[in-house]
Structure 1
Amino acid sequence: MPLHHRHLLLFLLLPFFFFFFIAAISAKNLSDYCPQTRCGSLIVKYPFYLESTAPSSSQSICGYEGFGINCSTGNPILTLPSDVYLVKSIDYNSKKLSLVDTEIGFNLCPAPGHNVSLDPNSTLKWDPVNTHYFFLINCTKNQSPSSNGYPPPTSSEYTLPMINCLSNQYYRSYVLPPDKASVSAQWLPVCNRSVLVPFAGVVSIPDNGGFPMTVKSGFMLDWSQAALCSGCEATQGCCGRKTTTGQFVCFCNDGLHDKNCKD
């Protein structure tokens, strides 16, 4: 082929090469939409996501609704209806995560300040390993007869020992097992507050020496597949939503789809 013909052919093909080059560098795959990141030592990946990385340039979030983790302080924080919680660990194989109240996690003698609740519509559920305990905080002397003037009665039949690090000469605090709800209600009028808090294990306070560590163990949650995600995940996609409208989207290797990677 004459040299000038080659130059002409190259000139004609150049726009096509340029087009495919731009397409190649601008194309996104699933890992671009749903990246694996870290917050401290915690690996954050689908169905969780870092709120600091969302929304992306495509104005969409890859992950389950309510699974956003805030890492602005360097600690992984998940928001539940009742408060914000420190994420201690996430097991992506068993679909379990361990949480602890931020007020408890950073306190030398933690006193739970509120009940822990979940959104009934969320895929996050209580793990069976949890036991819910009643905390009676800052209880004053009671006018009704009792063995020592402080609630609840010290009988080992239905109460655990007093929490020494949360008590003084004016107030005392106690923790009761879940089957003693009636006792908790009985003494509520003379206590500053009563809260129901889950823990992954048994709260044991033999000298109170192990109490802070036991309480700081936190609680466990499980998660299940979101109802809207079944079709998307069955076609190797990841679920998400548009940040502007909240509309469901399915992230696939070839881009965003409305329902699944085959629609």
Structure 2
Amino acid sequence: MMKLASFSLPLFFFFIHIASAANSISSSSVCPTNSCADGLQIRYPFWLSQGSLPDQYCGYQVFGLICGDSYPIFSILGLYYIVTDIDYDNHTLHLVDYDTFNQTCPRALHSVPLGSLPLSHSPLNLNLRFYYNCSSHPSGATPIRCLTSGMNESFGFVEGNEIRGFDWSKNCGEIVTVTVMKDRVTSEGLMNEYKEAMNEGFVLDWQTAQSCVECEASDGLCGYSNTKKEVLCFCNDGSVQSNSCSGKHRAHLPKLIIGLIAAGVGALLMCIIIFFTRRKISLIISTDYWKTKKKDENIESFIRNNGPLPIKRYTFSEIKKMTNSFEVKLGEGGYGNVFKGNIANNYPVAVKVLNASKGNDGEFINEVVSISRTSHVNIVTLLGFCLEGSKKALIYELMPNSSLEKFICQKDLGPNYPPLSWEKLLQIAEGIAKGLEYLHSGCGTRILHFDIKPSNILLDKNFCPKISDFGLAKLCSKTHSIVSMLDARGTFGYIAPEVWNRNFGGVSYKSDVYSYGMLILEMVGGKQNIESEISDSSDVYLPHLLYKQIELGKNIAEDDDMSREESEIAKKMTIVGLWCIQPMPSDRPPMNRVIEMLEGSLEQLSIPSKPCMFPPIIPTNGEEICATNGVLSLSADYQCGR
């Protein structure tokens, strides 16, 4: 019997392959592949219109393309876009606005109106906001010189990064949102980068058209009849049905193939029965098996109930393919390993593969559900995930400059990691603050991160900071300022006191403010190498040392090479950080106020009360030391991510 099994198994798949090949041949004859001058393949679900609409065609009704001078042209609700690439494996469409293509000074005329089309913006995209013909503008705003019209000027920003406190809609004649690729622009270099970014275009993902769901479910290819004005379904046997193939194509298969497939299936089932009988089906009755199955079902159910998710789900075989079988490791931690990979259009990504043995199901769910609801230049982009039994992975945009943790101590950085200037540190601090403000009040659901620290701040090629690792995040309504938590969460040294001790107050978004304050104080301490003053003592609290310098009027910047501007930046960051780590949540500023403090002048900042948030220590030389028993602190041994 086992010999029969060894024969029937490959025989079964051989006949399945024959049937599949027959279907493929008949499908390609019904729905042929076309191309324009550039050679780009145009095939299902897209179709080519040769000047006039055909009587009937195979493809989604709204996915008709026409050939331009060099590229296919795609019309979206009356607007025209050049098609530069179609990725049929990943269902992505790369487009460039026809109105601004190859212009030396592009002026966007419209946004991308998707309406009810089976299209959605890719996570690779980013929105720019242009304000045209502004009669006035705030100081510090850089105009787009080539778009100046008389006394009026025009401005561009990464959406959400406009200068605050100014009514742009009231002072500008027109506002247009433009979609570009995320990796083509930065907030700092936007004026020099936006032209090329608009010329590079953007990416859309396509989904199954609602009118074609039934047809594709029956293994048919959807089309349309212009004469009858109805949906068609092109079947694998060459027939054309009204809505679906309804199994008819199977009836047309040669009886010999059907008989052989049935014989192969019977032999295969016999082998399976014998195999599991001899093994006494130990796997099926295993307690661990059922626990794992139940756990995975719970995760699946949670993700479905919080969907639909705007990110792609990958199989584990696809994960192996995009990482070239996990060839290049970028890092590792208690959660698992991170590998370098590539997805559509050779876009580089970081793939975090979670350890199967770790109890990380809750963190995995948090990461997928919370970060998939975000879209901000200072939040890392989650491009996809994999959930296949115990195999779990997360796919992120790749950050070439790793994390902020590498730069805080500035030791052994190597040639690829130059020391960051004070100006760049301030920009990073502002970017993190804007990302947190977005999480707290800018997206549909308030998201509390609960793990803000240097290793969770990633830096792109232009050192733009992006908040990552939402494994401990908690989603809550904007109408509730206090959240309920049964357990403390966070990293030692950055946890707000109320998270572990409710005597300090309720847990809220102000808990993230505390962690942010500790983060920027550590940035100042690392830049100034303050740990050398602390020596090896673990009883000296970094915020206390920084507060003492300000209280005594001592210059934060002891380095003779530092300019006055750099010294002011260091002092400003220190004062803001001290405000953020006040023991009582009500005394801490919200993130929008933090942004105003960082962007404002030093003279406008007042010095907060001394933060009494470090372990009790014995006073020396009669010095009075403020201390609170039992409160978590950032000791010298923990500075710089040690």
Q: TM-score, normalised by structure 1?
A: 0.73
Give, in angstroms, the shift of residue 138 of structure 1.
2.9
Q: Would you say 1:196 and 2:177 are equivalent positions?
A: yes
Give, in angstroms, the shift of residue 220 of structure 1.
1.2
Aligned counterpart, 1:8: none
Deviations along 1:83-123, one digit per CA (max 9) or x if unpaired, are 11111111110000111111111312111012221122x21
Q: Would you say 1:245 and 2:240 are equivalent positions?
A: no
In the alignment, the residues of structure 1 paired with residue 28 and residue 51 of structure 2 have an alpha-carbon distance, to the nearest angstrom, of 14
Deviations along 1:109-157, one digit per CA (max 9) or x if unpaired, are 111012221122x2111112212221012323x2xxxxxxxx24326xx
- The size of the alignment, in residue pairs, is 219
Give, in angstroms, the shift of residue 54 of structure 1.
6.3
Aligned counterpart, 2:125: 130
Give, in angstroms, the shift of residue 53 of structure 1.
7.2
- Contact 2:133/2:149 (8 A) holds in 1: no
- The secondary structure found in structure 2 opposite 1:216 is helix
- The secondary structure found in structure 1 opposite 2:50 is helix
Whose radius of gyration is greater, 1 or 2?
A: 2
Aligned counterpart, 2:32: 35
Give, in angstroms, the shift of residue 225 of structure 1.
1.3
Aligned counterpart, 2:62: 66
Correspondence 1:1-263 to 2 at 5 A: 29-41=26-38, 42-52=40-50, 55-56=53-54, 59-81=55-77, 83-120=79-116, 122-140=117-135, 142=136, 151-154=137-140, 161-167=142-148, 170-180=151-161, 186-201=167-182, 203-204=185-186, 206=189, 208-252=191-235, 253-261=237-245, 262-263=247-248
Rate the CA distance shift 1:100–1:85 in 2: closer, same or farther, 3 A: same
- Contact 1:104/1:215 (8 A) holds in 2: yes
- Structure 2, unaligned stretches of length 5 or more? 1-24, 249-642
Deviations along 1:173-213, one digit per CA (max 9) or x if unpaired, are 21122225796982234333210111121534738443311
- Structure 1, unaligned stretches of length 5 or more? 1-27, 143-150, 156-160
When structure 1 is superposed on structure 2, of 207-216 and 42-51 the one drifting more is: 207-216
Q: TM-score, normalised by structure 2?
A: 0.32
- Contact 2:215/2:233 (8 A) holds in 1: yes
RMSD: 2.8
Using CA pairs under 8 Å that are at least 6 residues apart, name the structure with larger relative contact order, 1 or 2: 1
Larger helix fraction of residues: 2
Larger strand fraction of residues: 1
Q: In structure 1, give the amino acid aligned to 2:185.
A: V
Amino-acid identity (%):
30
- Contact 1:133/1:177 (8 A) holds in 2: yes
- Contact 2:37/2:69 (8 A) holds in 1: no
- The secondary structure found in structure 1 opposite 2:113 is coil
